Structure formats: C-alpha cells, structure tokens
Structure 1
Amino acid sequence: MFKDITGGITAPQGFKAAGVKAGLKKSGKEDVAVIYSTEPAAAAAVFTTNTMAAAPVIVSRQAAEKGKASAIIVNSGCANACTGEQGLADAKAMARITADLLGVAQDEVLVASTGIIGVTLPMEKVAAGINKTVGELSVEGAAKAAQAIMTTDTFAKSCAYEFELSGKMVRIAGIAKGSGMIHPNMATMLSFITTDAAIAAPVLKQALTEAVGVSFNMVSVDGDTSTNDMVAVLANGLAGNTVIADSAGKDYQLFSKALTAVCIDLAKMVARDGEGATKFLEVNVSGAASFAEAKKAAMAIAKSPLVKTAFFGQDPNWGRILCAVGYSEAAVVPEKTSLDISGITIVENGLGVPYDEHALRTVMAAHDIVVNVDLAAGAAKATVWTCDFSYEYVKINGEYHT
C-alpha cells in the first residue's frame, strides 16, 4: 500500500530543508534546521502536556491555531525552557528572522527547540545560524536537517512513503529526534512531517491527533515528559489530489493510515535509540476491557525500572512484569492471565509454566524483544515501545548538563 522512498523530509513536492552548525552545541555538530514549503501549507501540530511548556511551544501553539504555515525553524543545544519573558521574546525573534528571510508572515513559522532547560538562547549565534540555514535550503538538505535537530540521539530518524490518493501519487515524510526524557504525552521528542497531499487543516489536525495517539504517545524511555515536545505536519497540496475536506471518505482513511505509519516508524526509532539502550522492547497487551485499559497495563510494564533493568541483565524475571500489570489498575483476570516473551510462554492461567531455558536465554540476549501479555478481561489491545535501563543511561544523564 505504501512504498518506501528515499529523500527524507524533502521527498514530497515543494519542500526544502537545511541544517547548519551555528555553535550552539558543545560538540560542534549541526544545531539549526529549517524546513520550508515553497507553497503555503495546511498545518497541524500536537504539543507537550507539561505545564512548564517551553517558550517555543507557547509561540508555536498560537501559530498552529491558524492551520496554515510555510516553515519550521528548529534549534538544538538549548531548550529555551523556563526562560521567562526573554525566552518568549527569543522564540518570537526566531520566527520573525526566519519569516523575513523567506518572505512569509511571522505567524506562518513554527518554532521548536531542544536541549538544556533553564538556559537562554545565544541569539547572535541563532540569528547567524538561521541566515546561513535559509541560504542553504534545498531538496538535498534533508539529511543535514535531520542531524541538526538531534541532541543525545545516536542516529538520525527519518522515513518517507509514496502512495496513490484519488488517482494522484502522494508523498509523506518525517524526521524526529528523541532519546531521553521520553514519555507521553509525548516526550523530549520533536517530529516534523511533510506531505504534498491536499487536505483541509481541521481534518489534518484530526488525522495527526489520531496518529500521535497510537505512536508517539505509546513510547516511554524513562517516564519523563519534556517541556518541549512537538509534532507538526505541513501539507502543501502540490500532489494535486482532490482536497480531503472531511473524515468520511476513503481518501481520509488512506491518508490517515499513511500518516500513522510515518508516526509509528519514527516513534519506534525513538524507543530504539533510548539513551544507553541495549534492548528494544515491544510490549503488547491484549485481552483488555478497552484500549485505554490495555495502554495502562502496557505503559506500567514499559515504565517499570525493575522490568527495564531485568531486560538489561537478560533476566526473565516475569514476576516483575505481572507485578506492573497489577499496579497499573487495568482490569485483569489474574487466574486467566498469560505471558510470553518473544513467543516463549512463561505464564498460563496466572501461573508459571515450564519452558525451554536455553531458548529463553537466546531470546533475552537478543536486541529486539517482544513481551505479550493477555489480561483475559476483554478483546481490546495496545502496543507500547520502550527500551532497557543500562549503566550507560545513568552515565549519560548524570553528565548531561556538564
């Protein structure tokens, strides 16, 4: 249905991007990115639920309400969070500088930042970086843009698809950053999605909200929800498909599936790249009374330090998993509950059962591990993605500020 394509965030028609080194990161790597649509685009965004929201979140929330945008300006290395009036002025300045250089309205520019909290932006460097970035905008700039939004990430996160919509070939692509401070609703997690599909802004917002609900909001690395989370999508309509004006038809369903696929791909990359991670864990909970109940149980497992450290130590301590299910407050029938790890059944009807120890050791030594729990309380299910806790996670976060 969806064809994987190359090209990253600029794969859809009419998009350009760039990422440059502005000197905001101690590492000296790329730290300012711009994503630009040559045609004004329908826009939608979802933001952190953290009440200590960063200045760029406040500015972008207001801009996104219009449902129209032409560009996104992003910096890494400084979160511009908990920075008061100066922070707000700086976030607005980032939008204004970008808008002036592109010849668009200031409120058509979304702003995002990521990095250390409580530090003001070095605006002289930021302004110079924006100027340089806009000057380098091109279709070939996708990779540098993906690199420029990274902080403790170990790899750039990007995907792109092509599919047919009302007889026209449509493209959709996304990039994301996220490694630590990851937990719904969303987490230090930024994601930017572009598409050349034609879709009305309110419908785009509905599709994005639905997609985020089963992707980025189903990821937990360390249980901390950031001040700066943001997922934004721009749709410029250059594919020429019939405008998707409501959610009733097949075109909406197909577009929604494509957007969800991009979000899930990126969300899984975020979990896979958890700070210090040695394991990628997929937690599937079935037999739940509702999706919300399944999510509660799956999240409890994914967030449990005892579960995460057990997987790091390659210890199949299934008691920790069922313990997390129990305190999740999800409806469960204990005497009918079952559990398997990557297909090896460990618990049936609430009791431990004999299993092949050699096979389980092999499973626990793998990088990718699947945990399946059946609550025996209904027919709903949910999937959460997470990772283990390692010594390296403690080291990274113990030394992050310094």
Structure 2
Amino acid sequence: MKKIKGGVTAAKGFEAASAAAGIKYQGRTDMALVYSQKPCEAAGTFTTNVVKAAPVKWDKKVVESNVKPQVVVINSGIANACTGETGMECCKEVAKEAAKALETEMESVLIGSTGVIGMQLPVEKMKDGVHLLAKEKAEGLEMGNLAAKAIMTTDTKEKEAAVTIELDGTTVTIGGMAKGSGMIHPNMCTMLAFITTDAVISKEALQAALSSDVEETYNMISVDGDTSTNDTVLLLANQMAGNKEIQKGTKEFEIFKEALHEVNTTLAKKIAGDGEGATALLEVTVQGAETKQQAKTLAKSVICSNLTKTAIAGHDANWGRILCAMGYAGVEFEPEKTDLFIQSSAGELKLVENGMALNYSEEKATEILSQAEVCVVADIKTGTEKATAWGCDLTHGYIDINADYRS
C-alpha cells in the first residue's frame, strides 16, 4: 500500500467540481460535485440518530436499491434536516436537475447536505448550482481539492486522503474527502465522508468492507458527544481499474479493506483534530484489555470526557480525570493494575503505575501535552486486545463558534 496525494478524484474515472451557489454563505464556494464516468457499485453507512435529514433518507434508499449511482451533489450551509416533505421534495428536484445536466438517471444521484438544522434549502439556487457544477466538472487532484473545500462549514481545513494498492499486478486506487468539525460523535456507522475507488468489487464486498471499517474509524472519534442528523459515509466503486472482481473472504478483499482502513483512519483523525475551537488532536489507546469492545468503550469514554479535554487544552497532566472517565465507562477493569502514559513529538512519560502516581516531571508533562498531537495510552494489563479513539481538546473557542452558529 502506498499513500498518495489527492482525494475523491485520485481514482481513475472520477471528476469533481465546486461552485458558489449562495446557499447560505457569501463569497465562498458552497456546493460540490463528485461524478464518475461510469456507474458505480455503492455502499453507505448513516446516522443512527432517530432524527434523520432528508438527504440521509434519500441516500439510504439509493444505496439499498439495485441502482448504480454516478453522481453525488453536496451543499454546505444548510443541513436539510427537520424539513418534512419539503426537504424530501428538494432532494428529488436537485437529483432530477443533476440527472438532466449530466445526462443520467435521477435515481443515480446521491445527495449530501451539512449546516444549520431546520432551514429549508433554496431549491432554485441549488438547481442553478447543479448546472454550474456540471459545466465545471473535470478530472485532476486540484478539482478534488476544490470540492473538499466547498463542503466545509466550521472546518478550518479541507480533509483528503488517498492510497494505491497492487492486486495481481493491477493498480487500484482509493481516495476520499470528508468534512466535520462540530456535532461530531458518529454513531452509525454534521460529518460527511465520500470515498471513491476504481476497484472492480462486488456490491456485497463493498458494503461489508465499509460497514466493518466504520466501527474502527469514524465511530471511534468524538468532538462534542453530539451525533448529527446528517452523518453519512458513501463509498463508490466504478470498476475502472480492471482488476479481477474482489469478493468477500478472499486475500484481495483483505488487502482492499486494509487500504480502505488507511483512508478512513486518516480522514477520521483529520475530523477529530479539526474540532471546533480545538488546538490539539487527542488520541487515546487502551491496551491489555480482555476484549476489543472493552478497549473501545474505555478509550471512547476518555475522549468524550470534557474534563480530560480541558486538561489537554491547559497542557495539564491531570491523569485522575482519565482514570475517572474510564471508571464510569460502564465496563469493568482493575484500576489497581492500570498504567498511564502520555506521548507526543516531545517524548513519552509514564504518569501512573498500578493505579498510583509516579514521581514524574510536571514540566516535561506540560511540554508533551503542548504539542499539536497528543497520545494517551492506558494499559489495563488483563488481556491482549486494544483499541484507539480520537478526539480533541476543549477550548473556549468551541463556545464562541456554537453560541451564535445559527444566528
């Protein structure tokens, strides 16, 4: 596997575009298009929030059908959530217009929306935007990057990733883009991820690969504990690489899954590290667990702890907050056996051994915790399983952004 530059247009046969449609923002692009030169097999995972946005309902229906999608239209600024039948009609109108502009079927158009909940999308602006996108679409990494920028809301940077793998002498590429900064506590699988590949792969294998990997990547991040109404991950495969079809249970399937995991992990970490107001990516690994689920639950409890997050913001090695968060996670472990470490580019420090503080340097701890990426490792020493979760620190910037986000 080789990491390469690019995003949704890295794979063969995928084009992209961006446009300023004036949906909510002024002076910036706010619509994006992902287009495949050939119809695709599609897989998807979606929010488990009972309140589901209209595009989530639309996409779920498309993915679960026998339709082979070819187009994704995405807007930022307005989520098209809690918009009733009008919201669903908007999806239909936009899909119909995209099909007309791109000479495809309405049923082959997927929709993505992100932004303020409860506002109706300006349908005519969306339709005009679709024609702008259709006119501008093109191949190339720059076009993918522009699309990644267009779907941002409170994000401070675009999020892209791409890799290549070799399957029996054939190069297969997987690339993707994502957005997400606040209302991030994916539980599905306002984060969106769009992954593209030129692999020849069965629909069953594609969905299996995505569903299992989401549990290890997007479902292991949290910024603020809020599961969005719009969480969507779409994976499109246009079969243009020319490899032998990948089937579940094969060696090629495992190689494909590993590559997909690299793309999804990279995007998930970029979302976590770009949390609203954040100054640091927080990575928490729990090792020595009896089961994978025990490790996952403990790790995610720590990254969701506001007190731990504020300690990271203050570069304060307040390890008691970490053990406390593990203690209320809802799974058993032995605090008296637990070791805690902190790591970053500034070094590593062991803070706790067998549940008790060591005589460590507070100055060194502060230096380690002052870096842009900070890792916490908890070794509970009762087994061989481990899991990693990602979050960010919590600063006053989060309040500043969200206190008047709608108004």
- When the two structures are superposed, what TM-score results if normalisation uses the length of structure 1? 0.97
For residue 316 of structure 2, what is the amino acid of its counterpart?
Answer: D
User: Which has the higher mean CA deviation after the structures are superposed, 150-159 or 377-386?
Assistant: 377-386
2:168 corresponds, among 166, 169, 174, to: 166
Aligned to 2:396: 391
Structure 1 residue 289: Cα displacement: 2.0
SS at match of 1:18: strand
1:182 and 2:184 correspond: yes
2:227 corresponds, among 225, 229, 240, to: 225
For residue 391 of structure 1, what is the amino acid of its counterpart?
Answer: H
SS at match of 1:107: helix
Structure 1 residue 172: Cα displacement: 0.9
SS at match of 2:201: coil
For residue 10 of structure 2, what is the amino acid of its counterpart?
Answer: A
Structure 1 residue 161: Cα displacement: 1.2
Distance 2:114 2:22 in 1: 14
Aligned to 2:379: 374
User: Which has the higher mean CA deviation after the structures are superposed, 266-275 or 357-366?
Assistant: 357-366
CA contact (8 A) 2:176 2:194 kept: yes
Q: What percent of counterpart residues are identical?
A: 47
Aligned to 1:132: 132
List per-residue Cα deviations over 1:186-233 (Å, max 9, x = no partner): 592100011101001111000011111111111000000000010001
List per-residue Cα deviations over 1:115-144 (Å, max 9, x = no partner): 000000011111100111011110132121
SS at match of 1:134: helix
Aligned to 2:49: 50
Distance 1:7 1:216 in 2: 20
- Please identify runs of 4+ aligned residues in structure 1 that moved more than 6 A: none
Aligned to 1:65: 64
Structure 1 residue 378: Cα displacement: 2.1
User: Which has the higher mean CA deviation after the structures are superposed, 31-40 or 372-381?
Assistant: 372-381
User: Which has the higher mean CA deviation after the structures are superposed, 97-106 or 121-130?
Assistant: 97-106
For residue 158 of structure 1, what is the amino acid of its counterpart?
Answer: E
Distance 2:226 2:27 in 1: 27
Distance 2:268 2:188 in 1: 10
For residue 275 of structure 2, what is the amino acid of its counterpart?
Answer: G
Aligned to 1:102: 102
Distance 1:83 1:24 in 2: 16
SS at match of 2:178: strand
Aligned to 1:269: 270
Structure 1 residue 4: Cα displacement: 2.3
For residue 14 of structure 1, what is the amino acid of its counterpart?
Answer: G
Q: Which 5+ residue runs of structure 2 have no aligned equivalent?
A: none
SS at match of 1:151: coil
Distance 2:107 2:384 in 1: 45
Aligned to 2:158: 156
Distance 2:145 2:93 in 1: 26
1:344 and 2:363 correspond: no
Distance 2:182 2:148 in 1: 17
CA contact (8 A) 2:189 2:215 kept: no
Distance 2:387 2:190 in 1: 22
Distance 2:28 2:221 in 1: 27
After TM superposition, list the pairs within 5 Å mapping 1:187-266 onto structure 2. Answer: 188-244=190-246, 246-266=247-267
Distance 2:233 2:353 in 1: 40
Q: How many residues align?
A: 400
For residue 256 of structure 2, what is the amino acid of its counterpart?
Answer: F
For residue 24 of structure 1, what is the amino acid of its counterpart?
Answer: I
For residue 376 of structure 1, what is the amino acid of its counterpart?
Answer: K
Distance 2:262 2:59 in 1: 25
Aligned to 1:12: 11
Q: Which 5+ residue runs of structure 1 have no aligned equivalent?
A: none
Distance 1:361 1:314 in 2: 5
1:36 and 2:38 correspond: no
**Given the superposition, is the C-alpha separation of residues 121 and 376 from structure 1 closer, same or farther in structure 2, using an over 3 Å criterion?**
same
Question: What is the root-mean-square deviation of aligned Cα atoms in Å?
Answer: 1.2
Structure 1 residue 27: Cα displacement: 3.9
SS at match of 1:36: strand
CA contact (8 A) 2:48 2:189 kept: no
